[in-house]
Structures are given as C-alpha cells and as structure tokens.
Structure 1
Amino acid sequence: MKHIAIVICNYNYERFIAETIDSSLAQDYPGTRVIVIDDGSTDSSRAVIEQYGSRISAVFKENGGQVSAYNLGVELAGTDYVIFLDSDDVLYPHAVSEVMRKFEEEDLAKVQFRLDVIDESGKQTGAYIPHSEPPADCGRLLREGWLYPSPPASGNAYSVSALKAVFPVPEGGINRYGADFYAIYGAALIGAVATIPQSLGAYRVHHSATPSVSFANSEQIKKAPKAFKERWVTLREIAKERMNLELPPAFHDFAHEKAYFGSSLYHASLGARWRWMLNDSRAYMHTIVANPFWSLKKKAGTLFLSSLCLLPYSPLSDFVVRYITNPLARRGTVEQ
C-alpha cells in the first residue's frame, strides 16, 4: 500500500485546528499519516495540537510564513503523496481514498478536487470551488502562460516527487504566504493533473455574512494581484533553473484579472467605470475572450454581465461586480 501524508500548516487558528485535525484522522484510507506544522502560533494552538499525542506528528517551529511551512512539510512528509491542508479547512472521510484511487490509475503529479465553501461557523454556503475543470493538457497551457482552474490549497493532492522538483521555494518577503501557488502550478510543470469532479472537503471563508468583492482569506483583493505577479517571477526562475523550462514573462488568469475589475469598479462612479473599461480592461477582456478553459456560452455570459457595469444605475453595477468576483454573492456555483 502506498502512503499519503496530510500536512496541516497552522498559524493562530486555535478555534479551527481541532476540527481540521479530526477530519484528517477520520480518513478511511489506512495508509494516511497526519503531520501538523505549527508556524510559531501565539495563541493556544500548541495546547490544542498537543492533546492529540502520538496520533499525529507535531512540529513546532519559529514563525517563518507559509512557504517555510511548505518547505518543511515536503521535506518531512516521508510518503509517496501529500495533501497540504489549511488549518481552517476540513476533508470529508473518503477524500484520501478517492485521491489514492486516481493516483493508482494514472501516473500523475497532482489530483485536485472540489471544495464546498463553508462560513466561519462551518455552515454550508451552497457554493463550491472551482467550477471549471482543467483539460488534460493544462501543463502545456501553463507553459504558454495560462494559469489553469484549481481549488485553493486544501483541494489538491500531490506526488511528493513532483513537489521536490519545485520546493524548497525561497522564503521571506512576498513568499511568506501563497505557498500553494508554487505547489499548484509547479506540479503541473512536472507531470499530469487529474480532476475529481466532486466535493471531497470544505473551504472556510471568514466573515462572509455580507457579500462584497473579497473572497479569499489570506490576502486583500488589492494586494493579491501584485503578489501573483511576483510569485510568477519566482516560479519562472525555479522552472528555468531546475526544469530547464522557459515560461513567458506574463501570465493570463481570470481570477487574477477579476481582482482588478472588482477593486476598480466596485462603488465607482459611472465615469470611473467607463474610463476603466475603455482604458484598462484589455487584460481582463483577454482572459475572457481567449480563455482556453471556458465554453463559448460562459464567455458570452461573462462579457454580458461585465457590460452591465456601464449602465448608470450604480446598485446594478455593484451587484454585477460582486456576482463576478465573489462566489458567495451568488450562493450557487462558482466561477474560478
């Protein structure tokens, strides 16, 4: 039997970490190892983690950021496969079994699966991510600069050998966070990616009672686009030095561009909305019209919705911006 490690990276999530560990220990795949890396938490996380004793492998390190925790997790996994589970998310009991079935069927670098979106209390929101599935040749498209549709960290399982071709990643600066960027896209440069089209876990979104343009927990909507660009630069360097691959200088990604769209148009005046559409929307429009992962129907629908932001009725424009940028504003399926 091949083994898999669930590596939980935690920082100051004492209110969620027990539920995350419990979901990992409840996996019905017998060859599952649970590792918890606490990145210098200053709350009561350590006391919660220590209660599990020998049922888990616990590592307490000085605070260095998420990338430092991933670097250590790849080194310590000691298994054929690994899932990096955020310490506020959960896996359903059959998640590892489904993932391992995929790995046994094919030679894969990564298996990804849908995540249901839950609120801070753990209640289902009715949304899930992602809605689009990457094609079999997503690695080729990535080498052309297209970031493929992927769930966030907790919805991915990796071949450890694939991750070792990418990690360790330089730590510090912008790389204190966003480690899943390097795992998600780095793995696709190494080998094939497969998708399980069902929800095998849950992604927790904090403070989601009032839908806005913000969706992700870790970074503000105005900071995330800049961070993505800097991470792409680092990934290009890793690909060139370790894989002899030359990635393009710029990447294309609708999730990235809709952050600019949302921060520029939300609560904006009619004049500001028109100016952005006329002068600054080229990259946004390109990731819709040329998107290799979307159907013609989806492209047309997104273009139509975007055009509604040019109407003078600002409540409609704000609703459309929320609908496009934040899945929770729809309370339905998610476009990522």
Structure 2
Amino acid sequence: MTSFEPKISIVINNYNYEKYIGVAIQSALDQTYENVEIIVVDDGSTDGSIEIIKGYSNIKAIFKKNGGQVSAINEGFSIATGELIIFLDSDDYLFANACCEVVRKYTKAHSMISYKLQLCNEQGFLRDEFLPSIDLLESNHLDFIIKYGYFQTAPMSGAAYSAKFLANHLPFDTSRCGWIDHLLTFTAPIYGEISSVNYALGAYRIGHSSLSEHAKISLNKLRKNLLASDLYAEKISESLASEKNILIKKNKILGPYHWKERYISFVVDNENHPFVDDSRLMLAYNCIVKFMLWPQIGFTKKIKNILQISTMVVLSREKIILAVGKMTNINLKA
C-alpha cells in the first residue's frame, strides 16, 4: 500500500451517449478514494448529453466542437491536475473501488496500472465475461514489447496512466488516425514500470448478444484499424530508439492478427488496399511466422490460423471472398 495519496484525474470523453454519460459520471463520483477530480469532455454532442453533464456541479466540464476521441482526450489532459489519469469512455463505468486499487499498486516509478474490465449489456447488467479473457501480464512488459510489440490488455477505460508518462505523447496530432489506447499502453513499458490488477475494476458496455458479434467490422473500418495499428507500431519503434537506444523496425512489432487482416484487405480489394508496398507472399509469410511465434495464442488457434492463411495462398480472389465471412469477423458487405 502506498503511503501517499496521489490525485487521480478521471477524464470522461463523450459524444452522443446521453443514455450512459450519467452512469459514467456517477461511477467517478462514487469512488471510495477521495483525492479524485472528474473532468468531462463533451465532443460536440447533438443529443441530450450536454444537459445531463450540466446537471453535475462537482465536476469540470468542457464543451467543444466535434473533433473525435483523440481531440477530447487532448482537451481533458490539458486541464487535468492529477498525478494519475484514467480515460473513461462515457459508455463504460468504474467500480467504486477502482481508484483505491490503482493507488495500492502505484509508485512514482510507474507509467501505467492496468486492470481488467467486465462486460455489461446495454442496461449495465454485468456478464461473466472479461477483457482481456486471459490474465494480464504481471512482469517483463518491456521484454514482451521488444520481442512481440504487444501484450493483452483491456480497452481504454482499463488503465490508469501517470501524467508524467502521458506528457511524452499528449497532445496527440489529431490529423493522424490512431488507436490512442494502444499507443499509450504499448509505449508505457518503455518509460516506466507497469503493474497489473488481474480482476475487473470497471465495466465495458457492449450492445450485442455476444462479444464476437460486437466485434464484427466492415472492410472500411478494418482498414482504418490497420492504419492505426501501423501508426502505434511506428510510435513504439520511435520510442524504443529514443528512450532505450533499441532499434526495431515497426513491421516486427505488428502482431499476427494485424498481418492476417492486412492480407485479407490486400487480396479482396487490392486497388483500395492502404499499404502500397505489400505483396501476397510477404503478407502470408508474416502471418505464418507471427502465429507460430506468438506466445499468447493457444496451439489449436495457431494451427487453425496458419491453415487458413496457407489456404488463402492458393485460393482465387473470388473463393477467398466467399470464405472470409466464415473465417473472420469481417463483413465485406457493410
């Protein structure tokens, strides 16, 4: 248990979530840890969110034009005064003990405290499912990043970052696409220590009957995600070089599912594929090697994915398109 009580800033970013924003704010207000400030950034909502936010007098509120989640995070960070910062999505909520449990792990050497999130439905009722589904990594985060470029973690609401660490990345350039939570999480071990809480300290809301249904994406969204992951890999590579004098190309950092989805993008619609230097054989090679080496994928899944990738090498484009719907979460019709 730490002998000090660092201030925690809970920054809630919101856009048109009038159904949930009150729950998120109340969960921040209900923290059993006392040294907390609550900042709500509304990113140009057009529903009833603004009126709900204005109903709370004991928070800091920012109302801005719509600019996207990264711009909202930049705004919240600019006025946050906490030593630790939690970026809470407005459709998620924290459990009352979240900040207490974070502080139990925290020292000034930390850049991040990571914790699990429990899935809940649209009404907020908790399910017996968690993100991630496996245990969070307890140690050797930097070694894992250097070797694999990635480790299992919860989405944005599942981490508390030190403000000192965040200053290395924020404000982030909003003209560049990016999964800001991945960028922050996977560079955090380069700048400081990481600790994990291997149980849920908050809830992650999904609106479908299952997580697999919730995860279905269009080809257009998949390509945006591919560009985003390419960006965070670039940032990891740059941070390793500048902070640790370790030179690793970004392609080595990218994980197996990135390469699999990138391969599908290339094959099904090469004309609009966003990576001009890709080739079919290069993508297949990276897929197979990454799945073979990846430690957080079970043997059965490794074999299944390697067989799928190997099959796609010899199938025609038309047959791959027919197979994609069965093999992946990509909806080519959306």
TM-score per shorter chain, which class? 0.7 to 0.9
| Superposition CA RMSD, Å | 3.5
User: What SS does the aligned partner of 2:250 have?
Assistant: coil
Q: Is the 8 A contact 2:117 2:204 kept in 1?
A: yes
Aligned to 1:301: 300
Rounded to whole Å, the distance in 2 between the matches of 1:265 and 1:18 is: 44
Aligned to 2:42: 38
Aligned to 1:228: 229
TM-score, structure 2 as length reference:
0.77
The alignment covers a number of residue pairs equal to 304
Amino acid at match of 1:302: K
Q: How big is the shift at 1:303? A: 2.2
Is the deviation greater in 125-134 or in 298-307?
Answer: 298-307
Corresponding position: 1:168 with 2:171: yes
Q: Is the 8 A contact 1:144 1:248 kept in 2?
A: no
Going from structure 1 to structure 2, the CA distance change for 1:96 and 1:225 (only over 3 Å counts) comes to same
Rounded to whole Å, the distance in 2 between the matches of 1:12 and 1:306 is: 38
Q: How big is the shift at 1:119? A: 2.6
Aligned to 2:16: 12
Q: Is the 8 A contact 1:213 1:263 kept in 2?
A: no
Rounded to whole Å, the distance in 1 between the matches of 2:118 and 2:261 is: 21
Q: Which runs of 5+ in 1 are unaligned?
A: 267-276, 326-336
Post-superposition Cα deviations, 1:125-183, rounded to whole Å, max 9, x if no partner, equal 432111242352222332455112211100000111111122222112425xx222222
Aligned to 2:67: 64
Aligned to 2:192: 191
Going from structure 1 to structure 2, the CA distance change for 1:136 and 1:206 (only over 3 Å counts) comes to same
Q: Please, which of 102, 106, 110 is the counterpart of residue 103 of structure 1?
A: 106
Amino acid at match of 1:29: Y
Rounded to whole Å, the distance in 2 between the matches of 1:252 and 1:199 is: 27
Q: Which runs of 5+ in 2 are unaligned?
A: 269-279, 312-319
- Mapping of residues 205-224 of structure 1, within 5 Å: 205-208=206-209, 211-212=212-213, 214=215, 220-224=221-225
Going from structure 1 to structure 2, the CA distance change for 1:172 and 1:28 (only over 3 Å counts) comes to same
Rounded to whole Å, the distance in 1 between the matches of 2:11 and 2:245 is: 29
User: What SS does the aligned partner of 1:41 have?
Assistant: coil
Going from structure 1 to structure 2, the CA distance change for 1:216 and 1:128 (only over 3 Å counts) comes to farther
TM-score, structure 1 as length reference:
0.77
Is the deviation greater in 68-77 or in 30-39?
Answer: 68-77
Going from structure 1 to structure 2, the CA distance change for 1:45 and 1:161 (only over 3 Å counts) comes to same
Q: How big is the shift at 1:240? A: 5.5
Q: Is the 8 A contact 2:230 2:254 kept in 1?
A: no
User: What SS does the aligned partner of 1:161 have?
Assistant: helix
Rounded to whole Å, the distance in 1 between the matches of 2:60 and 2:119 is: 28
Aligned to 2:276: none
Q: How big is the shift at 1:94? A: 0.6
Q: How big is the shift at 1:193? A: 1.1
- Mapping of residues 130-141 of structure 1, within 5 Å: 130=132, 131-141=134-144
Identity fraction in percent:
28
Amino acid at match of 1:201: G
User: What SS does the aligned partner of 2:31 have?
Assistant: coil
